[in-house]
């Protein structure tokens, strides 16, 4: 069985470590926090990020980056998107040509608008990069609840290798050669999930959420195809699949943060209360900027940007969305 290293002992890094540990791989889990590492090694539980899940004995945690990386071919970057570039810089000296880098983060680089595979490629100077995405809440993956995801890469031979590495009878992995679509779908769905959460928090109903999800899907397709992704990908696991799970699940940090904002908390207060990464906040800023630059109309993203960063009242935001000029659906 393979040695696999996870860099980041948050919810998803831990859940996948548990899953692959149970499959029989030797897992090294690096985290910057000593408390997380001690909990995993001593209590066999990640109390902060994934409580009540027993961590198998073949998952060992460490705070030492070089030791974490040295014996594994597969290095999974399991940090939020805003930390991917700095983590790459921290590990660059330990990344030899034989390593395969797998990223599970969903977002884009806020500063440059680059996709994360582009960030990793430029920082680590490697082509062996695989992106894993799709509807996969950590809490359910850790409980072996049937889940489907998708892996993509510029090198589909490596994507197929990673498909085999992660596949179990409860975790079904598809390949998709549309790397742009897989990355953009996973990033933009977080924006729509925040908006759907806000609608729930205000107290609006299923009609409103269905509208946000459907018109949100239209925004994903518009910006995604403009960036070079395929329409079919956005109607697949990395797009619609993840949109459904994130907009409807109470596991979703984006949806939960949205609910709190809808109830009147500020963006900062809501993110603090959720206590884990809320990717949609940074994604909203990045994609609002990108939509202006590329002249792609993304009304939900635009209104959400004003709610999150310009103190626009959320209910008034919905009113503005509803009273725009009338138009044809497609
Ligand atoms: N949680 C899920 O269900 C899930 C599922 C699929 C994908 N994802 C994606 O995975 C990524 C990580 O999410 P998560 O849920 O594991 O996040 P999390 O908030 O649970 O944990 C984040 C981890 O990254 C670490 N971290 C944060 N900034 C860091 C930095 N600068 N350097 C080093 N470590 C840093 C934290 O200490 C923590 O261990 C996100 O992009 C998310 O969208 C999450
Ligand atoms: O908890 P969220 O909202 O970050 O969503 C996590 C995953 O992306 C679900 O697939």
Supply the pLDDT for residue 88. 98
From the CB of residue 188, how many other CB atoms can be counted at a distance below 10 Å?
A: 34
Domains of the chain: 3-175 (3.40.50.720), 179-322 (1.10.1040.10)
**Predicted structure pTM score:** 0.97
- CA 12–ligand 1 middle distance (angstroms): 7
Whether the ipTM is more than 0.90: the answer is yes
Please name the residues in contact with 31: beta carbons below 8 A apart, sequence gap of 6 or more.
Answer: 8, 9, 10, 13, 37, 40, 61, 63
- Residues serving a catalytic function are 189
pLDDT tens readout for residues 63-100 = 999 999 999 999 999 999 999 999 999 999 999 999 99
| Atom 1 in ligand 2: residue holding the nearest Cα | 252
Above 90 in pLDDT, residue 266? Answer: yes
**Cβ burial, residue 52 (10 Å; 0-12/13-18/19+):** exposed
| Atom 18 in ligand 1: residue holding the nearest Cα | 10
| Atom 7 in ligand 2: residue holding the nearest Cα | 137
Supply the pLDDT for residue 1. 80
Closest CA to 91 of 72, 128, 65: 65
Helices (H) and strands (E) in the chain, counts: 16, 8
Ligand nearest to the CA of 245: 2
pLDDT tens readout for residues 286-307 = 999 999 999 999 999 999 999 9
- CA 215–ligand 2 middle distance (angstroms): 19
Supply the pLDDT for residue 5. 98
pLDDT tens readout for residues 139-149 = 999 999 999 99
DSSP 120-165: HHHHH--S-EEEEESS--HHHHTTT--EEEEEE-SSHHHHHHHHHH
pLDDT tens readout for residues 100-140 = 999 999 999 999 999 999 999 999 999 999 999 999 999 99
Residue that has been written with the tokens 């590492």 in this structure? 37
C-alpha 316/C-alpha 327 separation (Å) is: 20
User: Rounded mean pLDDT of the chain?
Assistant: 97
């Amino acid at each position: 069985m393979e040695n696999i290293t996870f860099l980041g002992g948050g919810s998803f890094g831990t859940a996948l470590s548990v899953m692959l540990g149970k499959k029989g791989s030797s897992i090294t889990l690096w985290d910057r926090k000593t408390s997380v590492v001690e909990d995993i090694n001593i209590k066999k539980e990640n109390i902060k990020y994934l409580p009540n899940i027993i961590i198998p004995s073949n998952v060992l945690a460490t705070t030492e980056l070089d030791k974490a990386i040295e014996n594994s071919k597969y290095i999974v970057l399991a940090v939020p998107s805003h930390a991917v570039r700095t983590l790459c810089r921290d590990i660059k000296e330990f990344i030899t040509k034989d390593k395969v880098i797998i990223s599970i983060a969903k977002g884009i680089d806020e500063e440059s608008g680059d996709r994360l595979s582009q960030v990793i490629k430029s920082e680590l100077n490697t082509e062996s990069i695989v992106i894993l995405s799709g509807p996969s809440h950590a809490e359910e993956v850790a409980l072996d609840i049937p889940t489907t995801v998708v892996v993509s890469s510029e090198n589909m031979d490596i994507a197929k290798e990673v498909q085999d590495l992660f596949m179990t009878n409860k975790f079904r992995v598809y390949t998709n050669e549309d790397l742009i679509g897989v990355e953009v779908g996973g990033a933009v769905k977080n924006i729509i999930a925040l908006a759907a959460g806000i609608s729930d928090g205000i107290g609006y109903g299923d009609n409103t959420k269905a509208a946000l999800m459907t018109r949100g899907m239209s925004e994903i397709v518009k910006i995604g195809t403009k960036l070079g992704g395929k329409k079919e990908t956005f109607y697949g696991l990395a797009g619609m699949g993840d949109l459904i799970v994130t907009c409807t699940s109470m596991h979703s940090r984006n949806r939960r943060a949205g609910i709190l904002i809808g109830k009147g908390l500020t963006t900062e207060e809501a993110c603090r209360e959720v206590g884990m990464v809320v990717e949609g906040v940074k994604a909203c800023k990045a994609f609002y900027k990108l939509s202006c630059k590329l002249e792609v109309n993304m009304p939900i993203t635009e209104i959400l940007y004003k709610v999150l960063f310009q103190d626009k009242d959320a209910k008034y935001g919905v009113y503005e969305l509803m009273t725009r000029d009338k138009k044809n659906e497609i």
